[in-house]
Copies of this chain bind each other. A is one copy, B any other.
Amino acid sequence: MPSLAPYDRKLDYSYAPGIFPSMEAIKKAPELVRRLLISAQAEDSEGVAALTELCRARNIRVETADKALARLSGKGNCYAAAVFEKRPGVLNPEAAHIVLHHPSDAGNLGTILRTALGFGFFDIALIQPCADVFQPHVVRSSMGALFSLRVREYADFEAYRADFPGHAAYPFMLDGSVTLEEALKAPPRRPYCLIFGNEGTGLPPEFSKTGTPVRIEHSGDIDSLNLSIAASIGMYRFRQATL
């Protein structure tokens, strides 16, 4: 492995910055972890010691790399980061999917991944162009949820649909033909996919002809809900309805 570069989408590896995200990487996806970077000044801290111990048990190399960590830290401190190989996930054809169409905000994406994991959605399709799910900031804001999920990018929605033609589709749209609560009066047909659009523009109008377009009722006092809020309410309700 060459010397560590600043993160770039083109690299075949990325960084999980922070004790907790690194822990998740090592526990949930040890086969992807190439090494663990730690800060010299935090070598004896409890969190770093626990990480080092985990790495020893799994034969993962540990090295001090204060410069690389400082680069990852931004404003905060970062005492450890797992270096991990990027690998596209293979979505489970039997499971419910979350489809994010052109998500552009890295923080939103991390929050959605974490919430998806919390509600038992393990399969995530990202329709390009999209924020980079491997970007260290996304990994951090997902709290390492990325390492428990199967995430795959698709060039367009048709490419996703070609792989999973049988999923009942629920696009979430401001002018969806049924409310979320109406959509759930009967349990959804399985498997299904919940589709959410871009933060600023939502889903393109043609999605109104795809599956069952759903709207989350809110007052006219706001234009729309934040994407991560809408996605979380949708995931929560669908999960409750299919328990």
Which residue of B145, B222, B233, B240 contacts A232 across the interface (Cβ within 8 Å)?
A: B233
A236 at the interface (CB under 8 A from B): yes
Question: Do A219 and B119 contact each other (CB < 8 Å), given the known contacts A228-B229, A229-B232, A236-B233?
Answer: yes
A221 at the interface (CB under 8 A from B): yes
Whether A222 contacts B143 by the Cβ 8 Å rule is: yes
A188 at the interface (CB under 8 A from B): no
Question: Once bound together, how far apart are the Cα atoms of A143 and B224, in whole Å?
Answer: 10
Residues of B close to A217: CB separation below 8 A: 240
Q: Which residue of B lies closest to A230 (CB)?
A: B232
Which residue of B111, B120, B148 contacts A229 across the interface (Cβ within 8 Å)?
A: B111
Whether A225 contacts B115 by the Cβ 8 Å rule is: yes
State the number of copies, please: 2
Whether B117 contacts A222 by the Cβ 8 Å rule is: yes
In A98-139, the 8 Å CB interface with B consists of 111, 114-115, 117-120
Residues of B close to A218: CB separation below 8 A: 118-119
A226 at the interface (CB under 8 A from B): yes
A216 at the interface (CB under 8 A from B): yes
Question: Once bound together, how far apart are the Cα atoms of A226 and B148, in whole Å?
Answer: 18
A85 at the interface (CB under 8 A from B): no
Question: Do A117 and B221 contact each other (CB < 8 Å), given the known contacts A216-B236, A236-B216, A240-B181?
Answer: yes
Question: Once bound together, how far apart are the Cα atoms of A94 and B10, in whole Å?
Answer: 57
Chain A to chain B contacts (Cβ below 8 Å), 22 pairs: A111-B226, A111-B229, A114-B222, A114-B225, A114-B226, A115-B222, A115-B225, A117-B219, A117-B221, A117-B222, A118-B219, A119-B219, A120-B219, A143-B222, A145-B221, A216-B236, A217-B240, A225-B232, A229-B229, A229-B232, A232-B233, A233-B236
